[in-house]
Structure 1
């Protein structure tokens, strides 16, 4: 209980409002004495669109002795927990259908061409159209491998993503299966904590009811199976597997350490009012951190708007949309500074996330020690829309799997190789990811 109070006093929960401690006594003891290696690894995608301003983003110095640039400067206090990666090409996103933004976000975690289709027009050519993403995304692949014992296999959060098109989906269960992020912190809260906040008797009744419904459905499906052809039986078999997975998760209550608590949400601002963006973002980050602390999920993503959104960063004194600014001339110093300020603001939000993770004790370390965060985007630079020399930042501890605190410059290595390396860092043994035509194996140089 003292560990929870210590976290609360450091405002680790929503607005410092407090909560009801859920850690069990033996878990508190574990949290005080266990090593960091005793705790599960977590993975977070931190996606911001429209690229960056490279000369203000790139660090100065060499691999181990470097200073962060203006955009990444808010992360300086966590420099020993960063891997800043330059010179990696999103090669796959220069192939297949789609405009640059569609390709960039659709390939960011899949490394696979978008589907040919007639669902979404290109921004630059309304007569040309494209379908959804063409493969499973890294987060969902890891969720299948690592998310079998938690209440949620993965958690997808958004900050005013709002749109439902290929330019606003970074996460995919498979080809043509986008996973929409949740923009509303109230819905996020209910999904995560409704069961944890319930009294044991009502929770038991709720679970028993769910199980009866599932048992009935399973019985009906089994009765139907004998009347179907082989193709339909296979589809039904897969569906039964999904239902069985739901049943298994009914008893997954989470709580790996003594810092798990049900936060108090408080008043939530309107979800799609432009100027509420910063407050909504902090709420989503706080909910994400507590979801990991309570072991309700181990895989998560946080998507900031959509790639072509009309987000105006009024709180930074701006009056043009981020997308408009990204198309400004390369010699327009005023608009370039606006873009730098946007990038720096996003870095501040990542620093806030890292600080929250670091405030949650786990054994001799913290939740940050056991978490790996990927900050990625759809294009390298807004004015060129190139998907080469992409700006990537890895953050956290990755459970000791990566040698952090470095600035690495590559020479056109494929970003699919980075996806392989991230799988390996999460203890998932693969040698390729996405389209193998754009994958040569694990990106070298990241591991300890």
Structure 2
């Protein structure tokens, strides 16, 4: 009998609160890694991709001739730029924000097919960057990879932004189901109530000890010592986020009337998973492209219709819907700021998180995918060149890899390649994947 016997399926139930890490990789590895939670002091970058449907109002119309997103500025680098009606929602985090301009998807007028390209390579044939980074930047539960939360997307996987090598990833519009996948089902958690996380694992090792001899018994004795020490360590470093997180309960999670409640629930589950150290990469897709739902009492018509004046949407509805979507990004930032970082004691989660906020198109009225809106936000462990107290608007035209009658643009796949290089990996994309300078502090 070997230590691999500790990784039997029965232990997955016992260690549900740890996200199945011990069951998946063996208790020895789990103990070694879990004892570092909140103790190592070594900053570990977390990344959240936050994708809004139907554009962010970058083009002008009516009483908003410059659009809703950002003031247009000529030249490369600016700190004296104006946030317009939609982006004003991000004002509390302006000092931690790098706004980028002169960006494009692989084609200029992909329209509502942009969801197939926005997080991927230019041809839209490879796995998306969030999926790739989720496999590289693992938390305590490597089987989670990158979390994919899809509030208000519905059940149709034909309209999502995240892809593995095999195709679109599974949607998860129910925040309760997302919670169960990350933290375990209610039945698993209730069985552990009143007991230490590792108590039952400890008993399992003691039972095995009676059945082995020689060197295998010595290994078990070492692990028993590790369990006992880990119990003492965990008693000192328990993360209140992991103790208090509760399963959302929103029965009608696809009802437009509950949209804001569902959106907030998804953000809370994702933030809690990062704060507990279970994962380091997550994606929140706020809704499917051509979003067919309203927003409760805030927006009575479909979000997609609100972005099109020729589909019945008014200027006011366009403004209301875009501001609401951007507000959700700000509320996510608030969640990250309120929670502790799992790796550096005394720091907030936001201090070590990079939030990548964008849409699958530039503006829903024109359905164009050039001069795309993209903002990088958060403390990011000091790796983001956000420009100080005023924030930063950075025009990438001088580094363009795509030039046509619409101007000189950097394509998204180079941003994703640059982000991958920052965390020590690469993307398997063809064509130009050269680093974009001026975004991050590389060591």
TM-score (norm 1): 0.69
Question: What SS does the corresponding residue of 1:283 show, helix, strand or coil?
Answer: helix
Aligned to 2:287: 305
2:330 matched to which residue of 1? 351
Distance 1:418 1:196 in 2: 40
Measured after TM superposition, the shift of residue 436 of structure 1 is 2.6
Residue of structure 1 in register with 2:213 after alignment: none
Partner residue in 2 for 1:101: 112
Secondary structure of the equivalent of 1:67?
coil
Q: Secondary structure at the match of 2:79?
A: coil
Aligned to 1:159: 151
CA distance in 2, matches of 1:296, 1:148: 5
User: 2:246, 2:196 → 1: CA distance?
Assistant: 22
Could you tell me how far 1:351 is from its partner in structure 2? 1.2
Query: Which residue in the other structure is 2:314 paired with?
Result: 335
- Structure number, greater radius of gyration: 2
Q: Does 1:408 align with 2:394?
A: yes
Measured in 1, the distance between the counterparts of 2:202 and 2:121 equals 39
- Pairing 1:227-238 to 2, within 5 Å after superposition: none
Task: Tell me if structure 2 keeps the 8 A contact 1:59–1:407.
Answer: no
The question of whether the paired residues in 1 share the 8 Å contact of 2:139 and 2:277 is answered with no
Shift of 1:371: 0.7
CA drift at 1:260 = 3.1
- The question of whether the paired residues in 1 share the 8 Å contact of 2:259 and 2:296 is answered with no
Q: Distance in 1 between matches of 2:435 and 2:316?
A: 36
**In structure 1, C-alpha distance between the alignment counterparts of 2:246 and 2:123, rounded to whole Å:** 42
**Offset at residue 53 of structure 1 (A):** 1.4
Contact 1:256 1:294 in 2 (8 A): no
How far 1:309 moved relative to its partner? 2.6
Corresponding residue for 1:436?
430
User: Which residue, out of 81, 84, 87, partners 1:66?
Assistant: 81
Cα distance in structure 1, aligned partners of 2:49 and 2:268: 15
Distance 1:313 1:442, change over 3 A: same
Instruction: Report whether the alignment pairs 1:321 with 2:302.
Output: yes
Contact map agreement 1:146 1:298 (CA 8 A) in 2 = yes
Residues 39 and 256 (structure 1), Cα distance of their counterparts in 2 relative to 1, 3 Å cut? farther
* Uncovered stretches (5+) of structure 2, i.e. residues with no partner: 1-16, 18-30, 59-66, 205-233, 398-408
Deviation at 1:94, TM superposition (A): 5.0
TM-score by structure 2 length?
Answer: 0.70
Alpha-carbon shift at residue 361 of structure 1 (Å): 3.0
When residues 64 and 400 of structure 1 are mapped into structure 2, their CA distance, relative to the original with a 3 A threshold, is same
Q: Supply the distance in 2 between the matched residues of 1:397 and 1:424 (Cα, whole angstroms).
A: 18
Kindly indicate whether residue 132 of structure 2 is the aligned counterpart of residue 141 of structure 1.
Answer: yes
CA distance in 1, matches of 2:54, 2:203: 47
Deviations along 1:108-138, one digit per CA (max 9) or x if unpaired, are: 1112424xxxxxxxxxxxxxxxxxxx21110
In structure 2, the residue matched to 1:76 is 91
**TM-superposed deviation, 1:396:** 1.0
Deviations 1:187-230 (A, max 9, x none): 12222222566425898879999xxxxxxxxxxxxxxxxxxxxx
Cα offset for 1:49? 1.0
Determine the C-alpha separation between the residues in 1 that align with 2:37 and 2:300. 51
Per the alignment, in what secondary structure is the counterpart of residue 170 of structure 1? coil
Structure 1 match to 2:102? 87
Instruction: Confirm or deny that 1:420 pairs with 2:417.
Output: yes
2:173 matches 1:183 = yes
1:377 is the counterpart of 2:359: yes
1:392, distance to aligned residue in structure 2 (A): 0.6
Alpha-carbon contact 1:308-1:323 (below 8 Å) kept: yes
1:144-178 superposed Cα distances (whole Å, 9 cap, x missing partner) = 21227525212111112113243x2211111x421
SS, match of residue 352 in structure 1: helix
Q: Given that residues 42 and 299 in structure 1 are in contact (C-alpha distance below 8 angstroms), is that contact kept between their aligned partners in structure 2?
A: yes
Provide the residue aligned with 2:439 in structure 1: 446
Shift of 1:28: 11
Distance 1:207 1:181 in 2: 37
| Matched residue, 1:278 | 260
The 3 A distance-change label for structure 1 pair 440 and 285 is: closer
